[in-house]
Amino acid sequence: MDTDRCPSGSCPVPGGGVTRRQFLSRAWWVAGGLLVAEVAGGLVVSLWPKAKAGAFVTKISVMSLQEARAMPVGTVAYFTEQRLYISRVESGLLALYRKCPHLGCVVPWLPDDPTEDDLAQRGRFNCPCHSGIFDRYGLVHGGPPPRPMDVFPITIEGDEVVVDTGNPIQRSRFDESQVIEI
């Protein structure tokens, strides 16, 4: 190539091929396109598994059937990570969401407080935010909560007590359909 007449390599190539400048320009476009595709693909991959994982972890085995049957009536067990209580009532087990139905505070179980039901001598839920009081069925006995504590669907699967923590159920009263017999 005559570099005096084509100093930047932009002269047409005999036979209809591309010049060096055209080649470099296209190479930059291709590299840029690949970079954008890689970034977009990475975003999709990083977001997709989280959405799927959330869908998979809602049903959780909290104890064996044997352990559940060993709970005396009136016992309340706290599952911190699952954010729920298992309350042993007369007819079976109730899974109570720890989130207060008033403004969402975490409701602690206080085993030494006076009882609000006839299942045991002592123990009740007492929300520290506005003194919402609940019994072992999650029913309101004082304070501003507008409804009982929410419950989770609970089932027996094989030898395991399984709670579906992805589906808290609001309710206006207690009925036996909320309990799983053991």
Element (H, E) at 63: strand 59-64
**According to CB under 6 A, which one of 9, 108, 142, 143 is a site residue for ligand FES?**
143
138 part of the interface to ligand FES, by CB under 6 A: no
103 part of the interface to ligand FES, by CB under 6 A: yes
Q: Which residues in 113-132 contact ligand FES (CB under 6 A)?
A: 127, 129-130, 132
Distance of alpha carbon 127 from alpha carbon 144, whole angstroms? 10
Q: In what order do the strands lie in the sheet with 122-126?
A: 109-114, 122-126, 133-134, 140-142
- Taking CA atoms, 86 is separated from 45, 90, 94, in Å, by 37, 13, 6
| Nearest distance in Å: CB 170, ligand FES | 15
144 part of the interface to ligand FES, by CB under 6 A: yes
86 part of the interface to ligand FES, by CB under 6 A: no
User: Between 102 and 136, whose beta carbon lies closer to ligand FES?
Assistant: 102
Half-sphere exposure of 115 (CA within 13 A, CB side): 11
List interacting residues with ligand FES (CB under 6 A): 100, 102-103, 105, 127, 129-130, 132, 143-145
